Structure 1
Amino acid sequence: MPSAAKQAATSSIEHSHHYPPADQEPAKSSLARFLWPSEFETERDRLILGNGASELIDLVIRMAPRGTWRPGPFYTQYKEYERSARNNGFELLPFAGNDRANVACLVNPCNPTGDYLELDELKAWIASNVLPGGYAIIDESMQPWHSEQFREHSLTSQREYVEALYREQGISVFVMHSWTKLWCCTGLRLGSVVCPTAEHMRAIKKIQVPWSVNTVALAFLNAVVDDTAYLRDTWELTPLWRKETVDRLQSLFPDWVFHGRDFLSWIWIDTRDESVAQRAVELARAAGVPVRSGGPGYNLPTFIRVAVRHPAKVDVLVEALQKLR
């Protein structure tokens, strides 16, 4: 967790006898400035914060036109969108198919598979998969790892496209973020969504529980967006550590298949053997460096997901996995 933001969160406890600000300020404006350094004043009215992305996912899908729902074009993705769609009575369509849906949700970069669509590919997918009057929800939680130029590759930079799509076809594009991954604060629950218009934002605000984001999380966010050194380290070290981890594991297990772009903070690995994957999970957990199984939730039991971590922790993981050989 970034140290200055952690200190700001800790200090904010002194103000916990007050309700958090209902307008989420000044944290909301600070995040807007982070997303749109030059245009934040005109863009911030499309932005709303939530108690993790999970709250906002559910709120947006509750507002969406009823009918069919489909996931992105990848064989699996983060399951919270599917869970919310099922709970709200949508007919679930498979990821592969030609039918456009009332609501389509794409995680980009895709967690866990590591697939990634550039902006032109993303726009083509929306055009092919969302019905007129429908919702497109694009999860860009892992987008900021891309590089220092992540904003240029993000759908948040495409206001004219989003406005034209809504004006001409009635398609509403929402860009979702979970900020707890980038800034290592999962316990604080902090997310946001960029709406197609300010009217959409106000519609979410109307059904959102008051004071959804607590004082500590708001203080953390307000401080962390200014920690440029932390982001520089993230952009510099993540691809280096990821490549080193892939190289080391690949030398041990040449039959394993490694997936994902080089900037991602995790590695999606097909061990090609369910028993090997399960044993890898057990060995890593016992060594104190747990990895995720692809079995629960994704029903892909030959896969594991390994986080990109400091080389010293990778040493522990590699030593533990030596027992698989």
Structure 2
Amino acid sequence: MVESTCTKSVWDTKTQTFHGGQEHMFLNNFIEDFSVTTNYLSTPKGALEAAKQAIHDIHHYPAANQEPAKTCLAQFLWPTDYQQHHGRLLMGNGASELIDLVVRRCLKQQEGSSDSQPTWKGSPWNVQYQEYQRSATTNGFKILPPSSPDRVNMLCIVNPCNPTGDYFSVEPLKAWIKANIAAGGTVIVDESMQPWHSSDFRNDSLISEHAFAKEMWEQEKVSIHVMHSWTKIWSCTGLRIGSVICPTAEHCEALKKIQVPWSVNGPALKFVEAVVQDQDYLQETWQHTTRLRAHLVERLLSLNPEWIIHGKPFLSWVWVDMRTQAMADKAVELARQAGVPVRSGTPGYQCLSFVRVAVRKEPEVDVLISAWKSL
């Protein structure tokens, strides 16, 4: 058994994709959530207080233009030249809303083309976050396997890849895009987990590749979108904060035309205004996540040296191949019973022997390791 009955009831499996982060509400002995890839530091206190204070203004509509939060986020993304790129940035109710907007816009662009059915492909890795494929399937794209050599009308890659932990640095990423997208196509690169890379994350990210995005649009009519869910790095998944960087301001305007008004609520906007100023939080994230991840890996391999650990050292989780489905299922159940749920690789990903474990502080890791001593 990989899902409890109560967790299954949260999802309409006919229409929704399974996701972690739901079990805590059903556990009377809940200690820590290892099933989600949020920052081990929990929510930044100053930004949380700003969101709390914004509750007092809920009798007013939030800003329809998302300001000043959008400008604050633009300054965070591009500290020296944000004014040049501000018009290409759009915020949304989590990345999920923006994913659907871009997929629908791509579908509309493909109408009238010679292709009978537009094609979609994900990353070159065997599995990635499923919301992109779910949206593409819902909107009628033909889904090609990751191994397909064909160029596609829509290309979506999660980089770093959640859950596998694979990562393209920026130059190989650009080469992979060029080799896999058809002329006139749409690309989404999800960099939600990329800010964990280091304090120099911008220089290994597509957010800084303005010339590349311009070249692909002007020469190939390929529109590249860089997607972020900000709720992981700042541990605020309940607020739903996402953004997309479009290739041009005109692309951004096209998305706004089909976006519902006020999709980002007042507390979320105030949270963003405050959180982008919290440099100490990010410095602590970069300083300690790699150390804590290495500690987690060491503890896991001390239980079973035959387990295979996947993922880059800077990431906020580990992707563990426990070698058999029986062992992975038992690990999921034991973690749940101990109040420290982990993410099974079976629902959604169909990786039967895998478990995803978030990076957390040493005392909480001790609880998980203790729960798994019988494996």
Q: TM-score range by the shorter chain?
A: over 0.9
Aligned counterpart, 1:17: 59
Candidates 115, 125, 140, aligned match of 1:74: 125
Q: Secondary structure at the match of 1:186?
A: coil
Aligned counterpart, 1:169: 220
Residue by residue over 1:90-131, the C-alpha shift from the partner in whole angstroms, topping out at 9 and shown as x without a partner, is 000000021000000000000000000011110111111100
Aligned counterparts of 2:304 and 2:269: Cα–Cα separation in 1: 44
Paired letter, 1:286: Q
- How many residues in Structure 1 have an aligned counterpart in Structure 2? 324
Aligned pairs for 1:157-236 within 5 A: 157-236=208-287
Aligned counterparts of 1:37 and 1:121: Cα–Cα separation in 2: 25
| Distance apart, 1:15 and its partner CA | 1.0
Aligned counterparts of 1:34 and 1:287: Cα–Cα separation in 2: 39
Paired letter, 2:144: L
Paired letter, 2:252: M
Aligned counterparts of 1:89 and 1:245: Cα–Cα separation in 2: 41
Aligned counterpart, 1:30: 72
Paired letter, 2:273: N
Q: Secondary structure at the match of 2:153?
A: strand
Candidates 303, 306, 313, aligned match of 2:354: 303
Q: Secondary structure at the match of 2:373?
A: helix
Aligned counterparts of 1:68 and 1:38: Cα–Cα separation in 2: 38
* Gap runs ≥5 in structure 2: 1-42, 111-117
Aligned pairs for 1:48-197 within 5 A: 48-64=90-106, 65-66=109-110, 67-197=118-248
Aligned counterparts of 1:297 and 1:272: Cα–Cα separation in 2: 19
Candidates 278, 296, 314, aligned match of 1:263: 314
| Distance apart, 1:183 and its partner CA | 0.5
Aligned counterparts of 1:180 and 1:221: Cα–Cα separation in 2: 10
Q: Secondary structure at the match of 2:161?
A: coil
Q: Secondary structure at the match of 1:322?
A: coil
Residue by residue over 1:42-95, the C-alpha shift from the partner in whole angstroms, topping out at 9 and shown as x without a partner, is 111100000000000000000004400000101000000000000000000000
Paired letter, 1:179: W
Q: Secondary structure at the match of 2:199?
A: coil
Q: CA RMSD in A?
A: 0.6
Q: Report the TM-score when normalising by structure 1.
A: 0.99
Which structure's residues are more often helix, by fraction?
1
Paired letter, 1:129: N
| Distance apart, 1:316 and its partner CA | 0.3
Aligned counterpart, 1:249: 300
| Distance apart, 1:151 and its partner CA | 0.5
Candidates 23, 26, 47, aligned match of 1:5: 47
Q: Secondary structure at the match of 1:188?
A: coil
Give the share of equivalent positions with the same residue, in percent.
56
Q: Which has the higher contact order (CA 8 A, sep 6+)?
A: 2
Stretch of structure 1 that moved more, 64-73 or 260-269: 64-73
Matched, 1:320 2:361: no
Q: Secondary structure at the match of 1:267?
A: strand
Residue by residue over 1:195-242, the C-alpha shift from the partner in whole angstroms, topping out at 9 and shown as x without a partner, is 000000000001100000000100001100001010011001100000
Matched, 1:281 2:323: no
Paired letter, 1:55: E
Aligned counterpart, 2:89: 47
Residue by residue over 1:225-278, the C-alpha shift from the partner in whole angstroms, topping out at 9 and shown as x without a partner, is 001010011001100000001011112101100000000000000000101000
Q: Report the TM-score when normalising by structure 2.
A: 0.86
Q: Secondary structure at the match of 1:187?
A: coil
Q: Secondary structure at the match of 2:132?
A: helix
Q: Secondary structure at the match of 2:126?
A: coil
Aligned counterparts of 1:97 and 1:68: Cα–Cα separation in 2: 11
| Distance apart, 1:14 and its partner CA | 1.1
